Chains A and B, each alone.
Chain A
Amino acid sequence: MHDRGGWPTQAPIDRSEHQLADWELLVDALVGALGRHGVMNVDELRRGIEGMPPDEYERASYYERWLYSVETVLIEKGVLAPRELDRRIGG
């Protein structure tokens, strides 16, 4: 699903651009910080993204994929408990 070279598509390329939202900059910086602390590297980030269910991969925005991957890999490594983030948000 991530391997897109030559994937058949009629879609024109949407050239509109958006400035990164604060939360997107935050996700980017979190990945950088996790890398510098040796907790998670960029290859793990890519691998985590590649493991997304295909329909979620296509639907998700760029940094949504990053967030998914970070959560997945950190749970795998035991840095986060499963659903710990959900509990923090949901109360």
Chain B
Amino acid sequence: MSEQDHDHDHPHAPITESDEPAFAVRARALEELLIEKGTIRGEDVRQGIDWLVSRSPADGARLVARAWVDPEFKRRLLADAREAALQLGLDPGPSPVVQAVENTHAIHHMVVCTLCSCYPRALLGPPPDWYKSLPYRSRAASDPRGVLTEFGVELDDDVELRVLDSTADIRYLVIPRRPPASERMSEEELAGLVTRDSMIGVAQPAAAAPAGA
């Protein structure tokens, strides 16, 4: 996610700009009112935005890559992903529990929040629009293999597909399967194969580069 340029040092910027959607005007007016009332401070808003734009799937990918190369770390990640993230100097976010789930040759996990859009955004960045969309929230539950087909993933019938519906404060992170022929790759190179979508469970990680490439 690229840097955004925010003029939140100027809360009294002109209320209307020609192309601005009505909701942008409304949001800024709300911010102004709440700051004037002392309900929140401008600094709170800046910090919140800074945190959100700093979030990216690179953090989740680091957890996965470390788990791929270090079986003891993987064990700790599966036991308590919040704590494992903290051990790597990562911010696991405000959820009380982050639960990592491991894909194997026999089990594939896929995450959805059918009721709203719960998502481990501290480790993956803000969720993609499709994750929050009504069709995904509907079909990931009742037709997950159809969804996977749309995303280009075909699972054999003997693979158990587990859909996790995030209905409470637990945030789920999928540990995708390590790509074949990746044994010589460094941990950093491996992290580069771990895509956001593979940590949601709608994609496999990228393929390892050919040897010597």
Contacts and interface: CB of A to CB of B under 8 A. Distances in A.
B104 interface: no
Given A21-B24, A22-B24, 19 more contacts: A5-B112, A5-B138, A6-B142, A13-B136, A13-B139, A14-B133, A17-B128, A25-B49, A26-B8, A26-B28, A29-B45, A29-B47, A29-B52, A32-B48, A36-B44, A39-B39, A80-B33, A85-B26, A89-B26
A89 B134 contact: no
Interface in A51-76: 58, 61-64, 67, 70-71
Contact of A30 (B40, B51, B112, B114): B40
A79 B40 CA distance: 11
Interface residues of A, number: 49
Nearest to A60: B23
A31 to B, nearest CB: 8
A16 B138 CA distance: 18
B137 interface: yes
- The number of chain B residues touching the other chain, given as a range, is 35 or more
24 contacts: A3-B115, A4-B134, A4-B141, A6-B141, A9-B134, A13-B133, A13-B150, A20-B52, A22-B4, A25-B6, A26-B28, A29-B44, A30-B34, A30-B40, A33-B41, A49-B116, A62-B117, A67-B30, A80-B33, A85-B29, A85-B33, A88-B32, A89-B15, A89-B26
